[in-house]
Amino acid sequence: MRQVINPAYFPLLFDKSRYLLLYGGAGSGKSYFAAQKVLLRILADAKRGRKHKFLVLRKTQPAARKSVYALLKYWLAAWGMLHPLVVRENKVEMTFTFWNGSVIICGGLDDREKLKSVEGVTGMWLEEPTELSRDDFLQANLRLRGRRNVYKQIIMSFNPISKMNWLYEEFFAKERRNAKILRTTYKDNLFIDEEYIQELLYLAEQDSTYYQVYAEGEWGVLQNIIYSTFDVSSESWPETFDEKIYGLDFGFNVQSALVEINWYDGHPFERELLYERKLTNQDLIGQLEALGVDKGSPIYADSAEPDRIQEIENAGYLVYPAQKRVKDGIDYVKRMRPTIHPESVNLLKEVESYKWKEDRHGNVLDEPVKFRDHLMDARRYAYYTHARGNLGELPDWGSLGGLGAVR
């Protein structure tokens, strides 16, 4: 196991604290270790005739499917265990049932009633608990009770984005009994790729607070946030919309990002559709098809990739090169007050931390920090380019009568 577990985390395999907090910088391997510990506890206790029921949670069900569920499946496959006689996977319920009766249940805290019905929990992993409310945490904590023949532990893995978060007050501002805390950075991850390291180091030139949080893994307070006017809701979403557009930011070593923007009665509704690395253009086209992207609605894509745009157009999509004037585009998007679907976890994470760059003296600059901004670029492409049309001037949004961009 030492070949796949980073040395900084190895001692925590045997830690029995009620709360195990794994926090720090991006790319430090926190989530990988959390998944490994869950699986190794099940395997070790199976030899002793003990069963586990692990709850593995994020804020929403879709976010859990894309992250913790996928990561657990990755390790089970890598260790050759995804076989009906060893571990049975239920893709609909997002569960893994082991040969001895142990089970891992993945899910979201957006369905508390379902969570309340789960009994006999022996352990829990909360991924990105900074997304949760204090009440979410208390509800999850209540699931881990009763006498068991194994120790009960809640693992939490996260980036320490802001000291204003309830998690800082709960576990860091004061000493918490029976809590083990470990801070790690990319330097503790033996398996990180060099390109990602360079991206993190570049933050030192971009913004001191971002570098503090994402490279050094220290608690920070993000200021000079660019977008502050948006709502998060699924209940107010109409069944049908007046018009639809898409924004697409290309990536390969970084995420390709696709956002859908719908209008109803002049109001925008946003939904994250894609946020994935290592996609070739053929992979991307396959994703567009799988996601049901409307071939009659415009896609505004990164104009720096004309060959990729042409290939997507050849596949039958209505795709246009985006206008990339960053400051003007941001100023325009700031006029909007969109409703963002709560399942759009990466979109919300980006919009809540997208900030103006500051120089070393603390002066605010007229350009955003270039880090984790793929969906921010994609939505700017869509809003700004669609409004401009081919006029060369930015019309007043209200004069468009909804959307109705001119080409």
What is the arithmetic mean of pLDDT over 271-292?
95
Q: How far is CA 156 from CA 20, 259, 357, in A?
A: 6, 29, 30
Helix (H, G, I), strand (E, B) or coil at 24: strand
Q: Do residues 212 and 218 make contact, with C-beta atoms less than 8 angstroms apart?
A: yes
Check if 10-209 and 231-400 are the same fold. Answer: no
Three-class HEC string of 156-212? EEECCCCCCCHHHHHHCCCCCCCEEEEEECHHHCCCCCHHHHHHHHHHHHHCHHHHH
Residue-level pLDDT at 401 = 35
Residue-level pLDDT at 2 = 60
Summary mean pLDDT of the chain: 90
Residue-level pLDDT at 399 = 35
Cα–Cα distance measured from residue 204 to residue 403, given in angstroms and rounded to the nearest whole number: 40
pLDDT digits (tens, 9 = 90+) for 315-364: 999 999 999 999 999 999 999 999 999 888 899 989 989 999 988 778 89
Residue-level pLDDT at 392 = 41
Residue-level pLDDT at 395 = 39
Strand duo 256-264 + 267-276: pairing: antiparallel
- The one-character DSSP state at 279 is -
**For domain 10-209, which CATH number applies: 3.40.225.10, 3.30.1200.10, 2.40.160.20, 3.40.50.300?**
3.40.50.300
Sorted by where each begins, the domain ranges of the chain are: 10-209, 231-400
H or E segment and range at residue 72: helix 70-78
Q: Do residues 86 and 117 make contact, with C-beta atoms less than 8 angstroms apart?
A: no
Helix (H, G, I), strand (E, B) or coil at 356: strand
pTM over 0.75: yes
pLDDT digits (tens, 9 = 90+) for 355-394: 999 887 788 999 999 988 999 999 999 999 999 873 344 4
The residues near 271 (Cβ < 8 Å, ≥ 6 apart) are: 259, 260, 262, 340, 341, 343, 344, 347
Nearest to 378 by CA among 337, 350, 358: 350
What is the arithmetic mean of pLDDT over 76-97?
96
Q: How far is CA 191 from CA 32, 89, 194, 196, in A?
A: 11, 27, 9, 11
H or E segment and range at residue 267: strand 267-276
Q: Is the pLDDT of residue 402 over 80?
A: no
Residue 362 burial (10 A CB sphere; 0-12, 13-18, 19+) = exposed
pLDDT digits (tens, 9 = 90+) for 290-312: 999 999 999 999 999 999 999 99
The residues near 219 (Cβ < 8 Å, ≥ 6 apart) are: 160, 162, 163, 168, 172, 213
Q: Is the pLDDT of residue 191 over 90?
A: yes
Residue 290's CB: how many other CB atoms inside 10 A? 9
What does the buried/exposed string (b/e) look like for 89-109 if buried means 16 or more CB atoms within 10 Å of the residue's CB? beeeebbbbbeeebbbbbbbb
Residue-level pLDDT at 85 = 95
H or E segment and range at residue 105: strand 103-108
Q: How confident is the model at residue 259 (pLDDT cuts 50, 70, 90)?
A: very high
Q: Do residues 401 and 326 make contact, with C-beta atoms less than 8 angstroms apart?
A: no
Residue 352 burial (10 A CB sphere; 0-12, 13-18, 19+) = middle
Q: Is the pLDDT of residue 190 over 70?
A: yes
Cα–Cα distance measured from residue 138 to residue 133, given in angstroms and rounded to the nearest whole number: 9
Q: How many alpha carbons lie under 13 Å from residue 150 in its C-beta half-sphere?
A: 26
Residue-level pLDDT at 1 = 61
Cα–Cα distance measured from residue 222 to residue 224, given in angstroms and rounded to the nearest whole number: 7
Q: Do residues 235 and 343 make contact, with C-beta atoms less than 8 angstroms apart?
A: no
CATH 3.40.50.300 is the classification of domain 231-400? no
- The one-character DSSP state at 391 is S
Q: How confident is the model at residue 82 (pLDDT cuts 50, 70, 90)?
A: very high
Residue-level pLDDT at 363 = 85
Q: Structure tokens of 219?
A: 């608690």
Q: Is the pLDDT of residue 87 over 80?
A: yes
- The one-character DSSP state at 302 is -
